[in-house]
Structure 1
Amino acid sequence: RIGCTLPKADYYIPFGLPSFPNLFDVQGSAHHSSIKKQFAPLYTMIALLSYEQGVDGQTAILKEELQRFSDQKQVIDLPQFLQYYVFDAIGVINVGKSMGMMESNSDTNGACGALDAMWHYASMMAYIPHMHA
């Protein structure tokens, strides 16, 4: 059987907005299933293959930038830079355009900072989920 019949713990409540449930925080199995069905077509093999060219372009930029850092003997924050790569690749997949984070070696629109803040908040509130409003 695919799927889980066990209820999702309250721990996940802070990982979404109360007024806008998402796949990660919704607790009801039926509601979770209905949301999941909306996104399932994005993850078929055909869909994933269609993203490959855009991701390949970002991977080429990643390799070029890492080579440039190496040639210049420049110290970088590798985990942060790989996060820029992921955001740029996701930008190409979702909107057809890179966010330009790798080229600028910076969080160009504050997305990484916002994500870090969200994870910090949610991981703390997960222990007291009913205070999340």
Structure 2
Amino acid sequence: MARKTDGMQGREGLEDLFAAMREERVPPSDALMARVLADALAHQPRPALPVAAEVGAGVAVRPGLWRRLAGLFGGAGALAGMGTAAVAGLFIGFVQPEGLSLLGDAVLGTPLETVELIPDVDMLFAGN
């Protein structure tokens, strides 16, 4: 028949057991590591490679300029986002919304038209 112990002795014995297990380092087997790495490689996404379309009698056609350019920037979505940002930048630069002028006056303390964005070489060496 098992001897009944109070809660404190059981807890202390359990803590001792856990401490002994923390000190013991058992490295994983090579077979386990090989299975884990094979599983990880199987779940990694693979990039889609551009496929040349076949036309007629087995003549392959290379992707066009726009498709290659989109691939260079990370796909059509990324290229569309960059184009949108470029158009927005041109719009803000040419139209000069009233809120932008007020913001420039508040931040710089001078009218936005008087700010020198590209200084002369003399101004750079003047030390001002």
Give the TM-score band, short-chain normalised.
Answer: under 0.3
The structure richer in strand per residue is 2
| Larger CA Rg, structure 1 vs 2 | 2
> Which structure's relative contact order is higher, taking Cα pairs within 8 Å and 6+ residues apart?
1
User: TM-score, normalised to structure 2's length?
Assistant: 0.24
User: TM-score, normalised to structure 1's length?
Assistant: 0.23
